[in-house]
Amino acid sequence: MTRLCRRNLLKAGISAGVTGGLLTGSWTSWLPGTENHGLPVAVIGTVYTKNSHTDVLAGKILEGWQHDGGAGPGLRLASLWVDQAPEGELSRGLAEKHGFRWCRSIDEALTLGTDRLQVAGVLSIGEHGNYPHTPDTQQHQYPRRRFLEEIAATFRRVGRSVPVFNDKHLGYRFEDARAMVELSQELKFPLLAGSSLPLAWRLPGLELPHECEIEGMVSVGYGGLEAYGFHALEMHQCLLERRRGGETGVKAVRTIPAVEIFETAGLGGWSRPLLEAALATLPAGSTPAVVDWKLRDDAAVFDLEHVDGLRTAVVMANGAVGQFCCALKLKGRAEPVATWFKLQENAPFCHFAYLLRAIEQTIRQSKTVYPVERTLLTTGILDRVMQSHAKRGERIETPELAIRYTGTDWPYANHPESPLQLPND
């Protein structure tokens, strides 16, 4: 069995929090004169339309955390390139308003048409836009790997690399994700990736101690099994990785379809008591009691078998729930611990501000603030559960997902150590 564990990741040149670049030195040493004007960054996007992921991230750089001209991150948008220009495209007008360079290629966005990097970091946002789906599993073929390979081609050309953030999962195929992480290690640039969910508000606040003993976990999500299932998996994983021994990876997955959900309770990774404990964190009246659930056909459970023997589950409760929450059974505690991962449901979507803060810190310290292995694993789980779903719930062995790593203590939105104080309603 091929194990993509930390030892083999290191042999293959993959590790979390890699520092340095093709050439060493802080950004101030090779971008003189920019020290007091915010770190210059390039944004590479599929589209820039209202409330797209490009907008809710780059918009906060341009117009502040609240998109109102007030305080924002210590970043400056130097350049932007987008792959598509659908109706409602905003980037050209924003370039004229804010003075950043609107570019015709990824290379131009990183170099401003020169033979050296002109930015301290890159945000690659491959979400939204008109792209095909795979015919069998209906996975959205966003060009995230292509974007990173073109970014890396510029790094090679100029002989220097900088940190890169990849929005959401690393690719629609696990093989793409693995190649992307390998590329980041080859060129020695920090690669941060993932969802905004791990950084969102937790109500009540929940910080699991490292090395806690987790005996079971159920997370609840909603929406498309790929697009929103990824968010649910990242929420799931940011807590699960803190268990004793750290993350060990996943050895098998199964997607339980809607028609089988209730009859499989307690047979695998999903437990009705944990489900009800998670739902109890949600606002009163926001979801019907489990006995009254009327699930849609696109509801499902991701049943996960971990390498260390733990069984956990993500319930995509479409038709009954429109929130993200989770509950865990900890050894020695009679009652589950549970929390609601609360998002700001309307613009300016302030939970993305906390993701942007993680991006800024990664660029400043040239080291990821949480490990890319988390998103490598969630990308792989998502790919395999989509395959299981297409095969009507077939169990799929996943030896390639035996990925070992340990989580970090990067604070979430309402963590006592989080310096940002933003509205959560």
The whole-number pLDDT of residue 89 equals 96
Contacts of residue 74, defined as CB under 8 A and 6 or more positions apart, other chains included, come to 38, 39, 360, 364
Quick count: other Cβ atoms within 10 Å of Cβ 392? 9
Q: Given 3.40.190.10, 3.40.50.720, 3.20.20.10, 3.40.50.300, which CATH number is that of 17-196+349-369? A: 3.40.50.720
Distance CA 364, CA 108 (A): 22
The whole-number pLDDT of residue 23 equals 62
Q: Are 41 and 121 in contact (CB under 8 A)?
A: yes
Closest by CA to 119, choosing from 80, 65, 64, is: 80
Quick count: other Cβ atoms within 10 Å of Cβ 115? 8
CA distances from 306 to 19, 157, 226, 251, 312 (A): 30, 41, 20, 5, 8
* DSSP state, residue 281: T
Burial string for 184-208 (b: 16+ CB within 10 Å, else e) reads bbbbbbbbbbbbbbbbbbbbeebeb
Distance CA 110, CA 106 (A): 6
* DSSP state, residue 237: H
The whole-number pLDDT of residue 267 equals 80
Distance CA 151, CA 163 (A): 11
Distance CA 425, CA 420 (A): 15
The whole-number pLDDT of residue 269 equals 81
Quick count: other Cβ atoms within 10 Å of Cβ 389? 23
Number of helices (H) and strands (E) in the chain: give both, helices first: 11, 14
Where are the domains positioned within the chain?
17-196+349-369, 203-342
Residues of the chain predicted below pLDDT 70? 1-21, 23-36, 424-425
Q: Residue 302: beta bridge partners?
A: 255, 314
